[in-house]
Structure 1
Amino acid sequence: MAANPELETETSWTYETGFIKKLRFDTKFRAAAYYMDISDYQQHNYISGEPSAQVYNIDVELYGFELELSKSLSNGLSGYLNYSWKNWSHDDHPFDSKGTHYFMENQPQNTVKTGLHYRLWKGGRVSLNAKYIDERQSKQDQILGDVITVDIGAQHTFHLGYTDFTLKGYVNNLTDQDYELRAGYPMPGITAGIRSEFTF
């Protein structure tokens, strides 16, 4: 497919910094911040009732930070708590209207993750993880509600000479939450599976 010669090529620069600090009582603190400068972002404005869209270039900025505490608790048990915040801004454009929707509006501004991992035996581990996603603005000017999802899993790693074979079982969305990450696309309910991987 040929590119539209009237549109500029989208380019971006990403800057990220962070650090990890060991605290007392087997606790680690990690922090990171990022800034993304996108030039000539190709924005698509879909017009209600029309098969076409307005497409134009606009400059966009994305930025945010992430904080995490992790701790070894006792006898193979460890846990973590993670918080991330993101935001964005853009230049004004004459094609923007009340109905203009940017993809970035579909991203949660606040996300919280927490989890516990327990080592059952050498090479074996079970995990319990939960995630909170903030409400978001959808393309249809609809608010996508906030949600908390819970996942559980277990895995064992077999050491085979110079190769590691890991077998994992999982159940995602354990509480069968009804939610959407993007408007019109429901996420799966309770989902279980088994997967394996080789590491050389």
Structure 2
Amino acid sequence: MSNWSIAGTLNVVPAAQRTDLVAEPVAKALAAISEPVGLAEIDPGLADTAEFCAAYSSPLSASANCVVVAGKRGGEVRYAAALVLATTRADVNNVIRRRLDVRKASFAPMAEATELTGMEYGGITPIGLPEGWPILVDKAVADSPELVIGSGIRGSKLLVTGALLASLPGAEVIEGLAN
């Protein structure tokens, strides 16, 4: 699994070999994925994207961040995950708000996001999210040949293709999701 050009100094193994290094919902979801997924153990203190990229010589342009967004409509809270390149920002106030069909959308509070996903803050990933959640994938992410994403915990990262992320259950590729 060392054929990931974005791996920098990471020691990458097949994710299926080290499910002990991912959150439980991620491990369950990985079992259903046939495409190769790499996994690298990292220092949990270096999980934040900029620190991770600097410490492990992985290009910032090959990192994708997953954020949990919430909005209300008729008393019902609607959640979605948005996946954007680390060099961009998710357009929560326009694109995501319209997609969720809510008056106001914002990042879900940390405690809510971690409780609902079963993942650690700073490690939330689109693989293994609650069933029924839309996964909004920026077109630039979907078009990326290789990406580093969270693993559900802060102590590891997953290496995937944009095509894999675009094929996840509930995934929708959206042009202009990020700016």
| TM-score, scaled to structure 2 | 0.27
Comparing both chains, which one has the higher relative contact order based on Cα–Cα distances under 8 Å and sequence gaps of 6 or more? 2
Larger helix proportion, structure 1 or 2?
A: 2
Select the structure of larger CA radius of gyration: 1
TM-score by length of 1: 0.25
Structure having the higher strand fraction is: 1
